[in-house]
């Protein structure tokens, strides 16, 4: 699986008092967004921090969902049209990675 290129993870939150910054955990004080002095609301920052982990899980969930819910895949072993939920997950992954989603159809 080729994951997108983003700053190394895990990321951690830093409360500046005026908002939250997102830092790399491997280099103390190194912000994910470089030298930009940008802060986020706490709820946005918490979502951003876990985004790379959620994307990784979403890749794995998509593989499982496809094997369970795309009958043409488990009946024939060949790539066929996907179920609606599989298609939605694939579209979210494509949106997160900037990839083109292939419209193979929905059962």
In a domain, 47, yes or no: yes
In a domain, 83, yes or no: yes
In a domain, 40, yes or no: yes
In a domain, 45, yes or no: yes
Give the domain range for residue 32. 11-97
The reported pTM is 0.68
- What share of the chain has pLDDT > 90, as a percent? 8
Which 3 state secondary structure label does DSSP give 42?
helix
Q: Residues 51, 7: contact at Cβ < 8 Å?
A: no
Domain count, the chain: 1
Q: How many CA atoms lie within 13 A of 55 on its CB side?
A: 22
What's the mean per-residue pLDDT of the chain?
A: 77
In a domain, 107, yes or no: no
pLDDT at 5 over 60: yes
In a domain, 104, yes or no: no
């Amino acid at each position: 699986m080729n994951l997108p290129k983003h700053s190394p993870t895990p990321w951690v939150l830093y409360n500046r008092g005026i908002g939250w910054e997102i830092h790399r955990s491997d280099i103390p004080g190194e912000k994910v967004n470089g030298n930009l002095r940008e802060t986020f609301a706490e709820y946005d920052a918490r979502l951003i921090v876990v985004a790379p982990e959620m994307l990784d899980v979403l890749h794995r969930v998509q593989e499982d969902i496809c094997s369970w819910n795309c009958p043409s895949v488990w009946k024939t072993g060949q790539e066929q049209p996907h179920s609606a939920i599989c298609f939605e997950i694939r579209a979210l992954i494509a949106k997160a990675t900037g990839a083109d989603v292939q419209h193979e159809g929905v059962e």
